[in-house]
Amino acid sequence: MTVDELSRIANRLRLDVVETVHDAGDGHPGPCMSIADIMAVLFFEEMKLDPANPRWPERDRFVLSKGHACPILYAALARKGYFPLEELKGLRSLGSFLQGHPDMNKIPGVDTVSGSLGNGVAIGLGMAMGCRMQGIENYVYAIVGDGEEEEGIIWEAAMAAAKFKAGNLIVFADLNNHQSGGKVTELSSLYPVADKWNAFHWHVQEIDGHDIAQIQAAIAEAKKVTDKPSLIACKTVKGKNIPYMEDNNAWHKRVPTDEEVEIAREALKDKI
Ligand SMILES: [Mg+2]
C-alpha cells in the first residue's frame, strides 16, 4: 500500500471516531487521533491477520494499552472486516459489544481487554513469550500512552522483556504530551522518554508518529533486532488533523456537536 493510501485510511479512521463518539454521546476522541497513522500502518499493511478467523493462532497480536482510545480500534476492526460498519453506531450503548473499553470476549479481533492503564507492556510480553514457547513466528504490537508510562508496572515489564530478549515485542509510545489531567511534562518527569527505555536495554527509535514512511521504516528496523524488545517513540499531536481538537486536551473526553462533526468532515474531505 502507498503512503498516500495509508494516510487516507488514517484520516478515514479519524472521521469514523468523530462520527461514532458523536452518535454515542460519550467517548475519548482526542487520544484516538494521535495514534491514527500508527493504527493504519499496523492494521492495513503490517500485521498478519485473518478477519475471517480472528483467533488464528499464527496471527500477530495487538494490545491497545491506552484502552480508552478504543473508538479507533473499533473503526479499524470494522473497516478491516471483522464486523459490519453499522455496529460502530452502537458504541457505548446498552446491549452493544462495543463498550467504552475493549472486551476480548465479545469483540472479534480484540486480543486483550485493556483500559486499566499501564498493563499493556506486561500483557504484550506475556503474549510474546507464549507465542515464542509455542514456536509461533509472529510479532506482538502494543501502543502505550505517555501519561500511562507513569505507572510502575510499565517499567517492571520493560525490565523483564529485556531480560527475556523479547525480540518479537514491538511497543509504540504515543508521545502527545497530554494525559487526562493535563500536560505530561507538568504532571510528572517522564521525559525524556527514549532515554529511559534505552536504560532498560530496549532497542529504541525516535520518529514522527504521523509520518507513515517513518512508521513503516521503524517497524522494518525493529524486526531486524531479534535479541531485544523494541520501543518506537512517536512524537504525536493529540487531536491530530481535527482542527478544533489539535493539541487541545479538552478533547480527551468530549462529544463533538453536529456542527463540529461537519467541520471535521469538511477538514478531511480531500484527505480520505
Ligand atoms: Mg498522552
Alpha-carbon span 42 to 234, nearest angstrom: 14
- The pLDDT tens digits of the residues spanning 5-40 come to 999 999 999 999 999 999 999 999 999 999 999 999
| Cis geometry, peptide bond prior to residue 192 (ω within 30 degrees of 0) | yes
Residue 72 has a pLDDT of 98
| Residue 50 Cα to ligand 1 middle (Å) | 30
| Residue 57 Cα to ligand 1 middle (Å) | 32
Residue 189 has pLDDT above 90, yes or no: no
Residue among 176, 192, 188, 189 at smallest CA distance from 234? 176
Residue 149 has a pLDDT of 96
| Residue 252 Cα to ligand 1 middle (Å) | 9
- The pLDDT tens digits of the residues spanning 81-109 come to 999 999 999 999 999 999 999 999 999 99
| Residue 210 Cα to ligand 1 middle (Å) | 15
- Domains along the sequence of the chain with CATH: 3-268 (3.40.50.970)
Indicate whether this model's pTM tops 0.85. yes
- The pLDDT tens digits of the residues spanning 138-188 come to 999 999 999 999 999 999 999 999 999 999 999 999 999 999 999 999 999
| Residue 79 Cα to ligand 1 middle (Å) | 25
Share of the chain above pLDDT 90, in %: 100
* Cell matching residue 134: 509455542
CB of 69 closer than 8 Å to CB of 32: yes
| Residue 173 Cα to ligand 1 middle (Å) | 9
- Type of residue at 88: L
Residue 180 has a pLDDT of 93
CB of 142 closer than 8 Å to CB of 65: yes
Residue 116 has a pLDDT of 94
- What is the overall mean pLDDT for the chain? 97
| Residue 208 Cα to ligand 1 middle (Å) | 15
- Type of residue at 16: D
